[in-house]
Amino acid sequence: MAAPNLKAEKRTRQRYRRERRFKALCVGAILLSVAFLVFFFTDIIQRGYTAFYQAEVRAEVTYSERTVDLPPAAVDDEVRPFVSRGWLRQLPDHVEADPDLMGQTVTRWITADAPVGQYLKGQYSELTEQEKAEVDRLREQGQIRLAFNTNFFTNGDSKMAEIAGIKSAVVGSVLTLAVTMAVAFPIGVMSAVYLEEFAPDNRFTRFIEVNINNLAAVPSILYGLLGLAIFINFVGVPRSSALAGGLTLALMTLPIIIISTRAALRAVPDSIREGAFGVGASRLQVVSHHVLPQSLPGILTGSIIGLAQAMGETAPLLLVGMMAFIPSAPEGVTDAATVLPAQIYTWASMPQRAFDEITAAGILVLLAVLLTLNATAVVLRKRFERRW
């Protein structure tokens, strides 16, 4: 009795050991991915948070005939080297917007040149030692300060880091995704409803099914080529427009929406359909009164995930010309536009060092938007999902 017991106990111990080892490996895998995530976030936040504030100079701005023609003359010699040229350039617009300004001298805080901000934030700056001393002196006098960077949210792209912002890219992204959803959502849901509720199960529908699953795995750049060939070269949609980009992304999002909608429809138990048929409902009534409303949370969740994926996409948009320089926000879907990820990519390849932090700040904004989208999907699922 003792001998076989010993053997069995040994085997049991071995099995426990193996289990513990496996568990440790799994925990290790999770810890590793968490570590990567933490590293990525701290790195991006550390590099990006400085972009949310920027240097400003207090200066007396003179509005006159002369300074409208020659904006640098509007400010004192003392602060002129530190004032952003991008800000001065807008001086004639100020007068146009408010003609009363003409002939007045106004004291106001104006955006400083990027190297001043870089210096105050303790980063590498192109200022000479003499200029740095001057900036320090002005700061002590309260003539230069660091303040919240509104330009980053109210301006479009610029080659001058101090006035570059994400507005045009955000508007571009919104327009593009609006087109994407307007096209992909109805087509995707209707295709899925047909395949799931109406279509007979035969070779042909199975063939379509396999193809849709395959399409979901096709590299996105191929959709870019397809979009270029169909929408731009054949249909004649304007290049670089949100319409072209949105339609291209719609092609890419369609399979995702179809697949998730079908899964949501399949989750509705047949007893509901049978009950509806039993009281004499037609197939359309069964679908629109019972099956669709029940599966809507699932459909919306899938669509939002598809939307989030489309939001972060750059490769296909490159081919339809959305990697463009857009200083002012597009006003319609046919205007030239760019999107957030493309904007980040463009900033990442700028030589000026001030663009480092702007790139990181752009990434933070994109991450925040994606997080919100995914959180919405989770909330929708949690709140409205029904278990049968």
Partner 1 sequence: MRTWHKLSLAATTTAATASLFAAGPAGASDGGDVEISKDREAITIVGSSTVYPFASYVVEEFGVTTQYPTPVIESTGSGGGLKLFCGGDGMDTPDITNASRPMKVSEFERCQDNGVDDITRAVIGSDGIVIANSVKGERFELTLEELTRAVAAEVPQDGELVDNPNEYWDDIDSSLPHEEIKVYGPPTTSGTRDAFEEMVMEAASEEVGYDGAYSKIRQDGAYVPAGENDNLIVQKLTRDTEALGVFGYSFLDANRDRIQAARINGVEPTPEAISAGDYPISRSLFFYIKNGHAGEVAGLYEYVELFLSEQMIGDMGYLKEEGLIPLPAEQREEMRKAVLSKERLTRSQVEEDSQ
Name the minimum Å distance from CB 88 to partner 1: 11
Residue 295 and residue 266 in contact, taking contact as beta carbons nearer than 8 Å: no
User: Which of 61, 135, 179, 192: binder of partner 1 (CB under 8 A)?
Assistant: 179
Cβ-based burial of 62 (10 A; exposed 0-12, middle 13-18, buried ≥19):
middle
Dihedral, CA atoms, 263, 264, 270, 273, nearest 10 degrees?
-130
Q: Is the CB of 260 or the CB of 294 nearer to partner 1? A: 294
Residues 307 and 313: their CA atoms lie apart, in Å, by 10
Question: Which region among 100-108, 139-147, 205-213, 294-302 touches partner 1 (by CB under 8 A)?
Answer: 294-302
Name the minimum Å distance from CB 349 to partner 1: 5
* CA-to-CA dists, residue 222 to 216, 251, 297, angstroms: 12, 10, 31
* CA-to-CA dists, residue 183 to 75, 287, 342, 359, angstroms: 52, 21, 22, 31
Q: Is the CB of 91 or the CB of 143 nearer to partner 1? A: 91
- If binding is defined by CB under 8 A, does position 381 make contact with partner 1? no
The two beta strands, 144-148 and 105-111, are unpaired
Residues 27 and 191: their CA atoms lie apart, in Å, by 42
- If binding is defined by CB under 8 A, does position 63 make contact with partner 1? no
Helix (H, G, I), strand (E, B) or coil at 62: strand
Q: Is the CB of 56 or the CB of 157 nearer to partner 1? A: 157
Name the minimum Å distance from CB 73 to partner 1: 15
Q: Is the CB of 143 or the CB of 165 nearer to partner 1? A: 165
- If binding is defined by CB under 8 A, does position 292 make contact with partner 1? yes
User: Which of 44, 45, 146, 182: binder of partner 1 (CB under 8 A)?
Assistant: 182
Which residues of 151-286 form beta strands (DSSP E)? none
- If binding is defined by CB under 8 A, does position 344 make contact with partner 1? no
Residues 267 and 291: their CA atoms lie apart, in Å, by 10
Residues 386 and 144: their CA atoms lie apart, in Å, by 59
- If binding is defined by CB under 8 A, does position 112 make contact with partner 1? no
Q: 112 — phi, psi (to 5°)? A: -90, 160
Q: Please, which of residues 77-96 interact with partner 1 by CB under 8 A?
A: 85, 89-90
DSSP 120-167: HTTS-----HHHHHHHHHHHHTTSEEEEE--HHHH----SSGGG--SH
- If binding is defined by CB under 8 A, does position 161 make contact with partner 1? no
- If binding is defined by CB under 8 A, does position 284 make contact with partner 1? no
Q: Is the CB of 143 or the CB of 161 nearer to partner 1? A: 161
Total residues at interface with partner 1 (CB under 8 A): 51
Question: Which region among 35-43, 137-145, 221-229, 346-354 touches partner 1 (by CB under 8 A)?
Answer: 346-354
- If binding is defined by CB under 8 A, does position 351 make contact with partner 1? yes
- If binding is defined by CB under 8 A, does position 296 make contact with partner 1? yes
Which stretches of the chain bind partner 1, using CB under 8 A?
85, 89-90, 124, 126, 158-159, 178-179, 181-183, 185-187, 189, 231, 235-240, 243, 246-247, 288-289, 292-294, 296, 300, 321, 323-328, 333-334, 336, 346, 348-353, 384
